[in-house]
Amino acid sequence: DIQMTQSPSSLSASVGDRVTITCRASQSISNYLNWFQQKPGKAPKLLIYAASSLQSGVPSRFSGGGSGTDFTLTISSLQPEDFATYYCQQSYSTPWTFGQGTKVEIK
């Protein structure tokens, strides 16, 4: 199975900050990497697919990058509604696997 490791597990940031979350795969997954945002009590929401493609309707302050084993999710200017938990997920091979999550909290 491909292991997905996110860092950090949590972070505190202020509104307006630039935030970067990293995701590392245990083997190369090309660009078969998705990012999701989840708020408490809600279903996950797709932000980025294929490592760097912005899902329709997602604000442009979100961006994704990377390929192979190392990926990033960047929020260019953190907004109040962005405080949530973020997950990466690989669909290169089954079983699909998720990172453990990164909780973004208010500083």
62-67, Cβ contacts within 8 angstroms, sequence gap of 24 or more: 62/35, 64/33, 64/35, 66/23, 66/31, 66/33, 67/30, 67/31
Return the C-alpha torsion angle 67, 72, 77, 80, nearest 10.
130
Closest approach of another protein to the CB of residue 18, in Å: 25
Q: Tell me the C-alpha distance between 57 and 83, whole Å.
A: 18
Identify the residue among 33, 75, 84, 104 touching another protein (CB under 8 A). Answer: 33
The two tokens of residue 89 are: 């997920």
Identify the residue among 7, 28, 50, 79 touching another protein (CB under 8 A). Answer: 50
Q: Tell me the C-alpha distance between 28 and 70, whole Å.
A: 9
Stated length of the chain:
107
Stretch that binds another protein, among 13-21, 60-68, 69-77, 89-97 (CB under 8 A): 89-97
36/62 with CB nearer another protein:
36
Answer yes or no whether residue 72 interacts with another protein by CB under 8 A.
no
Answer yes or no whether residue 87 interacts with another protein by CB under 8 A.
yes
Identify the residue among 14, 43, 60, 80 touching another protein (CB under 8 A). Answer: 43
Give contact residues for another protein (rule: CB under 8 A): 31-34, 36, 38, 42-46, 49-50, 53, 55, 87, 89, 91-92, 94-101
